Chains A and B, each alone.
Chain A
Amino acid sequence: MELTKNITLGIYLPGETSIHRLDPRTKIIATTLLIILLLFIRSYEAYGVFFIFTAAIIYFAGIPPRFALCGLKPMLPVLILMWVFQLFLYSTPDAEVLFSWFIFTATDTGLHMGNMITLRVLFLFTVTTMLTLTTSIVSLTDGLESLLNPLRKIGLPSQELVMTMVIALRFVLILAEELDKIVKAQMARGVAFDRGNFIQKTRKIFPVFLPLFINAFKRAEELIVAMEARSYSGGKGRTKMKTLHMGRVDLAAGGIMILYAALMVFILFSVSPRI
């Protein structure tokens, strides 16, 4: 039972394309805008335009399409199941019946609802994957920190929050090693993790969880002492070795995003929604 072998947290594909070179702030804002647009799309025409735009981003970022979509594979069974649920269970009183079988009735509103939601999930996934594929974790946190900075004025400790995220990401791998040791130690003591029914399997998580949490908290106490000894004081007056700069490419990207968003809003208002 190798638990930690397949950890691929936010895979990043290094590259030299214009998408890679964009300021992380530009990319975060653009992704947020795309996600907001997606939440409002309710017609096939709008999805068509969205598809063209997403495909263009994947093309310009030089990401193999296979790579951009591979994360979807484990989700596929659930996605299909959800589509089937919508098809048979969602309907409105004036819906047209497509076919019935046994106690199940498929209606056209159910079909559209299923399609819309499946497409939304597919695109949400692709858009967020594109962000992590083209941006390293370090520049993502830098960008996030810089974007959240204005919120300091209303009392939100942005730098500290980003520090929390960084600690979380760093400690995943450290705790993964720890977890591996605990699991092996318990297996050496004769705990068979892969055997037994649901209740027996559930009971076996206790001898793993307790040492994992206790060790994590021991490490936390050590880290607190270490940080306090070095007088860590959050964001006040802290400077960076690498500062972020917006360039011409960011200006161009911003312009494209505004035009695209305007086009999408126009489509959203002019095409009658399917659901």
Chain B
Amino acid sequence: MNLSVRKIVISGILGAISILLGVTRLGFIPVPTPAGHATIMHIPVILGGILEGPVVGLITGVIFGLFSFLQPGAPFFADPLVSVLPRLFIGVVAFLVYYSTKRINKALACILAGALGSITNTVLVLGMATWRGYLPPEVSISIGVLHGVPELVIAAILTVILVKGIQRIRTTED
């Protein structure tokens, strides 16, 4: 496998945005639930998958996962199986969804990729946290609904806006 300079730089910068959203708490949207906040830190990962393909999505996911592992926002993220592993799939899923639906309509493909990428994050993280015994199933289902739904809506809207905006300034079109 060979990584082009473009792929290295774009994954690095998207990873930086993800970390930045975490350290400034800008990536957390206060939702009144016990688990704290809904997150939009996974949006750079979704964008990486859509704009540059599965490899960039994967690497950005690793950076996002490693960061949430090293600076855990919730206790169960201190387990790499919960914080890193599920994040590997976000970008890949977003890429697959975008790639398979972009022929129909690009905007629709972005919305679907954002929504399904977000669902991947919610379901896999909470599923892993439940499987490892950090959360009882009832609690994770309620967190999944209370956090997953707003996260999904925000991710879908932001993805379509950001992809449109970024594609306008990029030197290469896909």
A-side interface residues toward B, CB under 8 Å?
Answer: 3-4, 6-10, 35, 39, 71, 75, 78-79, 81-82, 85-86, 89-90, 113, 117-118, 120-121, 124-125, 128, 132, 155-157, 160-161, 163-172, 174-176, 179, 198, 201-202, 205-206, 208-210, 212-214, 216-221, 223-224, 227-228, 232, 234, 275
Contact = CB atoms under 8 A, between A and B. Distances in A.
A154 B171 CA distance: 33
Interface of B: 1-3, 5-6, 8-17, 19-20, 23-24, 26, 29-32, 34-36, 40, 47, 59, 63, 69-72, 74-76, 78-81, 133-136, 138-139, 150, 154, 158, 161-162, 165-166, 169-171
B75 A164 contact: no
B20 A85 contact: no
Nearest to B74: A78
Contact of B31 (A3, A164, A198): A198
A65 B136 CA distance: 32
Nearest to A193: B26
Q: Which of A71, A206, A212, A221 has the most CB of B within 10 A?
A: A221
Contacts of B34: 81
B24 A4 contact: yes
Nearest to A110: B136
B31 A82 contact: no
B17 A212 contact: yes
Given A163-B8, A210-B162, A132 B13 contact: no
Contacts of B11: 164, 168
A214 B40 CA distance: 17
Given A221-B170, A224-B6, A7 B17 contact: no
22 contacts: A8-B23, A9-B71, A39-B79, A71-B71, A117-B134, A118-B75, A121-B78, A157-B1, A164-B11, A164-B59, A165-B63, A167-B15, A168-B63, A172-B20, A198-B31, A205-B40, A206-B161, A214-B165, A216-B13, A217-B13, A217-B166, A234-B8
Nearest to B158: A209
A82 B75 contact: yes
A160 B136 contact: no
Contacts of B133: 90, 113, 117, 275
B161 A85 contact: no
A213 B47 contact: yes
A221 B76 CA distance: 37
Given A160-B3, A176-B20, A214-B169, A82 B8 contact: no
A227 B10 CA distance: 12
Contacts of B15: 164-165, 167-168
Contacts of A3: 24, 26
A176 B24 contact: yes
A35 B19 CA distance: 23
Contacts of A179: 20, 24, 26
Nearest to A167: B12
Contacts of A35: 80
A165 B5 contact: no
Given A81-B34, A171-B13, A223-B9, 9 more contacts: A6-B23, A121-B79, A124-B78, A161-B3, A167-B13, A202-B154, A210-B165, A218-B169, A220-B10
B29 A205 contact: yes
